[in-house]
Amino acid sequence: MLFSQIVSQPTPMAAPVVETGQQRLKGRLVLDELPVEIVVEIATNLDFEGFGSMLGVSSFMRCILQKYWRYILSSIIEREFTPVGLFFRAFETGEVTGVGNRSAREWLGRLTGVGGGRDWRDREMDRIMNFCRGVKLWEAEFQRFRFYDCDVGEMRLMNGRERERFRRGLFIWDWFARVHHAGRQTRRTAEPVAFMRRFSTTELHELNDVWETVWAAVGREVCPSVTAVMEVIGDRSLAEGIGWGDGEENRQILGTVMKLGPGDLLRLLVGGGGRIGGRGGLVRWIRLSEPW
């Protein structure tokens, strides 16, 4: 007997095993049937995207997760959104008294511990979920910006340590933008230089790395210079209609655009500039944003 004939013949146990598997598939093993404490523990060990998907399983599941969202999200934030202190300072935008060493659960308790009923708590959860989504989108886009000039063989994913350094720079930038561009200045934060002195040299280097990388991306994708456009299309008259000046003029334009907060800049960099209404619409939108 050939080997192929031997392995193709079912063993006496094969049929019952397959039948049992089919029977199990007929049974509905759904999350809604699990004890609440197990559901919460499962959610705690998911990544951020998994938790977001779990919220959409059913209205009953969402009700459970909303009830315990602070406990669940605190674990996710401590795994995926470090450094935790800067994450919450960027999110909170209030008076600065030092980052401290609070855990994510302590921060969430401090931010959402006092308030109204269920609707208020749900809004707080949605607010911090949206902030987390913005951070994740920035991570994905920044990786593209970082390796823009690399050959295909040199491109790679940022490792965990590189992502954390990026987030640290992003959080400091977002914190600064929210304080100084949203009318939230206080005696301790009114001067930008004084605000920056609270950070270490390493943190400021990480902020500068993020800033320069995003500056270059804005110069390519939002406000390219006339010279840069010329290198692509080779038509001077057409390039002058597309480009945003040259030399010092272009640098001043980029400087104005970079005064937008990270959220507004992300909207431009992921394609929102086209939906704003072209060049004229972009100028009007920036003026209405008053990033100065």
Domain annotation covers residue 242: no
pLDDT at residue 217, as a whole number? 94
Residue with tokens 């006339």: 226
CB 239 within 8 A of CB 229: yes
pLDDT at residue 185, as a whole number? 53
pLDDT at residue 179, as a whole number? 81
Q: What is the pLDDT along the chain (292 residues), one digit of tens a residue?
A: 443 343 344 444 444 444 444 444 455 556 778 899 999 999 999 999 999 999 988 888 999 999 999 999 999 999 999 999 999 989 986 544 544 577 888 888 776 655 555 666 778 889 999 999 999 999 999 999 988 888 777 788 899 999 999 999 999 999 988 887 655 555 555 577 888 888 999 999 999 999 999 999 999 988 999 999 999 988 888 888 889 989 999 999 999 889 888 988 998 898 655 556 567 777 787 777 766 5
Domain annotation covers residue 148: yes
Domain range enclosing 213: 3-221
Write out the two tokens for 272. Answer: 């929102």
Domain annotation covers residue 255: no
- Give CA separation, 202 vs 82, 123, 160, 166, 268, in Å: 16, 35, 17, 12, 29
pLDDT at residue 178, as a whole number? 83
246: helix, strand or coil: coil
Domain annotation covers residue 247: no
Distance in angstroms (rounded) separating the CA atoms of residues 270 and 145 = 11
Domain annotation covers residue 237: no
Domain annotation covers residue 154: yes
pLDDT at residue 24, as a whole number? 46
For 229-245, letters b (16+ CB in 10 Å) and e give: bbeeeeeeeebeeebbb
Domain annotation covers residue 8: yes
Contacting residues for 263 by C-beta, under 8 A, at least 6 apart: 134, 174
pLDDT at residue 182, as a whole number? 57
pLDDT at residue 2, as a whole number? 40
pLDDT at residue 11, as a whole number? 42
**CA 179, chain centre distance (Å):** 19
Domain annotation covers residue 238: no
Q: Total domain count for the chain?
A: 1
For 94-117, letters b (16+ CB in 10 Å) and e give: eebeebeeeebbebbeebbeeeee
CB 243 within 8 A of CB 229: yes
Q: Work out whether the CA dihedral 42, 90, 220, 268 comes out positive or negative.
A: positive
